[in-house]
Amino acid sequence: MIPTAFDYESPQTIEEAVRLLVEGGDDVKLLAGGQSLIPVLKLRLAGPELIVDLGRIDGLRGIREDGDDLVIGAMTLHDEVSSSPLVREHAALLAEAASTVADPQVRHRGTFGGALVHADPAGDLPAPALALGASFEITGPAGSRTVAAREFFVDLFTTAVGEDEILTAVRIPKRTGWGAAYEKFVRVSQQWSIVAVAATVRLEGSAIAEARLGLTNMGSTPVRPEAVEQALIGVSPVAEAVEAAVAGVADGTTPPDDLNGSADYRRHLARVLTRRAVVRAAGA
């Protein structure tokens, strides 16, 4: 199947892109890497009258340091995130998670910001972004604003980005020296996560001093189990001790119940993968 006919614009500035969004209303879609949009168009699940391609706008792509943060442009490719020395040094969790997205072809075309705005609950980037305390820079007709990760992911495939707004960059607080692990359970390689767990850990001596976690596909949005993060403080990073500390990681979650696994099975996976992720992140 091929998409329905549409008009195409390729603006060179954010301001021009926002203007096109405002004028187009409900009949316009943004094109970043196209890895989510193009399949939807081909299946005719969406039929916009206008596609606005962000590929020619300067400043939306790249990774840089800004004080205690990394700033990642929304049009930065997954492969650029996973291979970046800056990301590997200061946000190792994000580098590992980005390296697991789909397959090499998708990672060389799909964009960091596009995946986050798409907000698929089985996607590999929302949970690490939540765990790392990311903030999202958004531009619209009223100007620019910044939204914290806990307010960014609103519901299934829904974020705080308005219909007339564009995600321009993501700020990631540096976690230099923290261990990291992204444990992902899939039926076959390159599939969406049935469940995945993002963990980044800082040790002091032989115990966990800080831990930050994010759960993938355990609800309509990524989940950050803060009670479990607190329970891990002071724990020796060995499997038995970590297993006890993370026993409640699935409490209060609402995972899907489908052909890939029941909700109870996913809760079991969350406990197992959290233990594995924390132990590996701690280097034990």
Q: Is pLDDT at 109 greater than 90 in this prediction? A: yes
Domain boundary at 126, 145, 173, which?
Answer: 173
User: What distances in angstroms separate CA 5 from CA 46, 51, 103, one per listed residue?
Assistant: 11, 10, 29
Residue 1 within a domain: no
- How far is it, in rounded angstroms, from Cα 89 to Cα 16? 35
> pLDDT (tens digit, 9 = 90+) per residue, 170-207?
999 999 999 999 999 998 876 789 999 999 999 999 99
Residue 232 predicted with pLDDT over 70: yes
Q: How confident is the model over 210-214, as a mean pLDDT?
A: 99
Same domain (yes/no): 71, 117? yes
Q: How far is CA 47 from the centre of its chain?
A: 26
Task: Kindly state the tokens that stand for 112.
Answer: 């960091």
Give the range of the structural domain holding residue 25, as residue numbers without chain letter. Answer: 7-53
Query: Does 58 fall in a domain?
Result: no
What pLDDT is recorded for position 191? 79
Q: Is residue 145 part of a domain?
A: yes
Beta bridge partners of 197: 183, 215
Instruction: Identify the helix (H) or strand (E) that includes residue 139.
Output: strand 135-140
* Number of domains within the chain: 3
Same structural domain, 94 and 163:
yes
Q: What is the mean pLDDT of the chain?
A: 97
* Residue 227: predicted pLDDT: 99
Q: What is the pLDDT of residues 37-72, one digit of tens each?
A: 999 899 998 999 999 999 999 999 999 999 999 999
Q: What is the mean pLDDT of residues 158-172?
A: 98
2 assigned to some structural domain: no
96 and 168 together in one domain: yes
Q: Do 233 and 146 belong together in one domain?
A: no
Position 284 pLDDT exceeds 70: no
pLDDT tens-digit series, residues 122-140: 999 999 999 999 999 999 9
| Domain endpoint, select from 124, 155, 173 | 173
Residue 1, Cβ density class (10 Å: 0-12 exposed, 13-18 middle, ≥19 buried) = exposed
118/22 same-domain check: no
Residues 74 and 95 in one domain: yes
Give the pLDDT score at 201: 98
Looking at residue 1, its pLDDT comes to 74
